[in-house]
Amino acid sequence: MAFQISNHLLDGAIQCPSPNCSERDDENEIDLLVIHNISLPPGQFETGCIAQLFCNELDTKAHPYFAEIGHLKVSSHILISRSGAVTQFVPFDKKAWHAGESTFDGRSNCNDFSIGIELEGTDYEEFTDIQYEVLASITNLLIQEYSCLNSERIVGHSDISPGRKTDPGPFFDWVKYRSVTN
């Protein structure tokens, strides 16, 4: 797990550029980290479908659920698989389209000032130990790299979109995660 950040890219991650991103008004304003969960199809892991969704390549006929979401233009900066593999879809200095309608600390549109990390998982089961290890490692690097980001500015998607989103869900162990982050 030897990661480092160079030119807003996570060295050690698989790079899979998503078209679902845009420029930030000011990269110096990156001051929020948002933790998500995702699995595609729901409850299934290591299918490759998350990357397909984030890159607008999801076969909407492959699963009934895909017909419902195939039109979405979404992405995250990072995906951490159940096995701990890391894929980066959007450079950190660009806006990934992960938060949607959201508000934090009186500011709306959290995509403007946040980094989004997806954990492959669901609201209904525990995440893997390696996911926590990798997430903590990446979090610590991000805090070192982006001076406005700190451990007090790490939230779940449910925190910035209450009533609309539930992830990372009740099985995400915040105590375990925070005990290994700066």
Looking at residue 174, its amino acid is W
Residue 6 lies inside a defined structural domain of this protein: no
Whether omega for the bond prior to residue 19 falls within 30 degrees of 0, making it cis, is no
Active site residues: 118
**Residue 111 token pair:** 């995509």
In a domain, 157, yes or no: yes
CATH number at residue 135: 3.40.80.10
Residue 56 in domain:
no
* Tally of CB atoms within 10 A around 51: 18
Of the CA atoms within 13 Å of residue 134, those in its CB half-sphere come to: 24
In a domain, 138, yes or no: yes
12 domain-assigned: no
In a domain, 111, yes or no: yes
DSSP 74-92: ---SEEE-TT--EEE-S-T
Q: In terms of residue numbers, what domain contains 86?
A: 22-39+75-178
In a domain, 61, yes or no: no
Q: How far is CA 151 from the centre of its chain?
A: 16
Domains contained in the chain, number: 1
Any idea of the CA torsion for 138, 140, 143, 145, to the nearest 10 degrees? Answer: -70
Q: How far is CA 145 from CA 13, 56, 61, 172, in A?
A: 16, 30, 41, 25
Each residue's pLDDT expressed in tens, for the chain with a length of 182 residues: 689 999 999 999 999 999 999 999 876 789 999 999 999 999 999 999 999 999 999 999 999 999 999 999 999 999 999 999 999 999 999 999 999 999 999 999 999 999 999 999 999 999 999 999 999 999 999 999 999 999 999 999 999 999 999 999 999 999 999 988 87
Distance between CA atoms of residues 30 and 114, nearest Å: 5
Cα–Cα distance between 49 and 37 in angstroms, integer?
A: 14
Cβ partners under 8 Å of residue 147, min gap 6: 28
- What the block records as the tokens of 152 is 């007090």
**158 domain residue, yes or no:** yes
